[in-house]
């Protein structure tokens, strides 16, 4: 899970851009905004430092206007 290129230029920015694109795709497919929750994927494809940074800057994901879900329990970081 943690193998490969784990480098991000700006972690939160890249993730917000990704979620905006996915949210737009979901809305175009007829999914209601109320049915969408943002999950930044703590522990998936990120370094320990990235995971801690995500937790610290979690409020930045509020720009999406959707609830944020985190599942930090049992993570190796």
Residue 3 is predicted with a pLDDT of 47
Residue 77 is predicted with a pLDDT of 61
Is pLDDT of 2 > 60? no
Phi and psi, residue 75, nearest 5° = -85, 150
In terms of pLDDT, which residue wins out, 73 or 39?
A: 39
Residue 8 is predicted with a pLDDT of 52
What distance in Å separates the CA atoms of residue 49 and residue 46, rounded to the nearest whole number?
8
23-69 pLDDT per residue, tens: 999 999 999 999 999 998 887 777 888 888 888 888 888 888 999 99
**Helix-helix angle 48-56:11-28, to 10 degrees:** 70
């Amino acid at each position: 899970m943690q193998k490969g290129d784990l480098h991000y230029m700006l972690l939160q920015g890249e993730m917000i851009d990704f979620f905006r694109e996915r949210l737009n795709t979901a809305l175009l497919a007829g999914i209601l905004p109320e049915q969408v929750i943002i999950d930044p994927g703590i522990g998936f494809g990120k370094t320990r430092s990235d995971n801690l940074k995500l937790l610290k800057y979690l409020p930045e994901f509020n720009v999406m206007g959707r609830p944020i879900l985190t599942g930090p329990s049992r993570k190796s970081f």
